[in-house]
């Protein structure tokens, strides 16, 4: 009998899709970063964008690049 709260060997692990280049992560998301991509002043629920290591290495979302 499987242990409760432990994923089955056949369970599909969640993956991220890069918001910039559409690359799909491995099951462990190594090197991936998440940034808030909505406008916090809009009053809408927060949205996260996931970025692969290459895109995250360029500074994250295009709106944040060049900021200090």
For 14-48, the pLDDT digits (tens) are 999 999 999 999 999 999 999 988 888 988 999 99
- Average pLDDT for residues 47-67, to the nearest whole number? 79
E-state strands within the chain: 33-36, 48-51
Q: For residue 40, what are the CA distances in angstroms to 23, 35, 43, 63, 64?
A: 26, 12, 7, 13, 14
Q: How confident is the model at residue 68 (pLDDT cuts 50, 70, 90)?
A: very low
Q: How confident is the model at residue 11 (pLDDT cuts 50, 70, 90)?
A: confident
């Amino acid at each position: 009998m499987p242990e409760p709260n432990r994923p089955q060997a056949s369970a599909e692990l969640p993956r991220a899709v890069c918001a910039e280049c559409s690359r799909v992560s491995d099951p462990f998301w190594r090197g991936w970063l998440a940034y808030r991509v909505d406008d916090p002043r809009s009053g809408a629920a927060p949205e996260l964008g996931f970025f692969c290591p290459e895109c995250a290495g360029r500074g994250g979302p295009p709106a944040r690049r060049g900021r200090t």
